[in-house]
């Protein structure tokens, strides 16, 4: 049975792409006029800006090539998880800049255990404008930038003077 889309507005979605097919899947979405983002730190993770219907249609036609990340907060655990534009923009900045930082690392999917500690905004330097959580990873302070339920990237070498606590 085919899932009926709930929303016709384009949004960002995260896809786990198998068999080193990310460049081909990215090209297929681009040819259809969709914005995409493939983070160099995470070669199997492709982000696509499209409607839910377009994503579900592509998934139905290429079932063995990819999975889409679902929304962990949704009642419907099979529905594709929409990523807010602002969260996607911050993640793109962080992962683009992190590709030039030898101490930056991909830590796998975002989990609650990584999201402990203070939420911060970087106010200056290379990562200015990014937001994330402060966490000790391998005995060093890192700022974790995450897309909830999808991925997290650790940024390092950010002076404490450049971190501003965000009170939520």
Cβ atoms of residues 52 and 5 within 8 Å? yes
Give me the number of domains the chain comprises. Answer: 2
| Residue 151, domain member (yes or no) | yes
Report how far residue 1's alpha carbon sits from residue 86's, in angstroms, rounded to the nearest whole number: 33
Q: Give me the percent of the chain exceeding a pLDDT of 90.
A: 43
Q: Say if 88 falls within a structural domain.
A: no
Please classify residue 66 by burial: count the beta carbons closer than 10 Å to its beta carbon, then call 0-12 exposed, 13-18 middle and 19+ buried.
buried
Going from the C-alpha of 14 to that of each of 29, 82, 83, 129, the distances in angstroms are 13, 8, 8, 22
- What's the CATH number where 143 sits? 2.30.30
- Find the length of the chain: 168
- Tens of pLDDT, residues 22-63: 999 999 999 999 999 998 878 889 999 999 999 999 999 988
Picking from 27, 48, 83, the residue at the C-terminal end of a domain is: 83
Place of tokens 């450049």: 162
**Domain boundary residue among 30, 59, 83?**
83
CA-nearest of 1, 15, 86, 6 to 52 is: 6
Residue 32 falls inside a structural domain:
yes
Same domain, 78 and 98: no
Q: Which domain holds residue 37?
A: 11-83
Is 5 a domain residue? no
Say whether both 69 and 125 belong to one domain. no
CB 68 within 8 A of CB 80: yes
Question: How far is it, in rounded angstroms, from Cα 46 to Cα 42?
Answer: 8
Q: Give the pLDDT confidence of 120-166 residue by residue, as tens digits.
A: 889 999 999 999 988 877 667 788 898 888 998 989 888 777 888 88
Which of 37, 61, 83 delimits the end of a domain? 83
Confidence of residue 74 (pLDDT cuts 50, 70, 90): confident
Which helix (H) or strand (E) segment holds residue 55: the answer is helix 52-61
Give CA–CA dist 128/59, Å, rounded: 36
User: Would 89 be classed as within a structural domain?
Assistant: no
């Amino acid at each position: 049975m085919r899932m009926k889309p709930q929303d016709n507005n384009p949004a960002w979605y995260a896809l786990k792409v198998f068999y080193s097919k990310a460049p081909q899947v990215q090209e297929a979405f681009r040819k259809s006029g969709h914005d995409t983002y493939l983070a160099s730190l995470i070669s199997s993770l492709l982000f696509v800006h499209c409607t839910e219907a377009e994503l579900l249609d592509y998934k139905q036609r290429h079932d063995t090539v990819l999975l889409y990340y679902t929304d962990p907060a949704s009642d419907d655990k099979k529905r594709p998880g929409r990523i807010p534009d602002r969260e996607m923009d911050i993640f793109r900045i962080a992962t683009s800049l992190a590709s030039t930082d030898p101490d930056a690392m991909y830590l796998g999917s975002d989990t609650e255990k990584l999201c402990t500690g203070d939420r911060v905004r970087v106010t200056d330097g290379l990562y200015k404008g990014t937001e994330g959580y402060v966490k000790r990873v391998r005995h060093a302070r890192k700022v974790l930038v995450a897309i909830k339920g999808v991925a997290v990237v650790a940024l390092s070498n950010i002076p404490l003077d450049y971190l501003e606590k965000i009170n939520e």
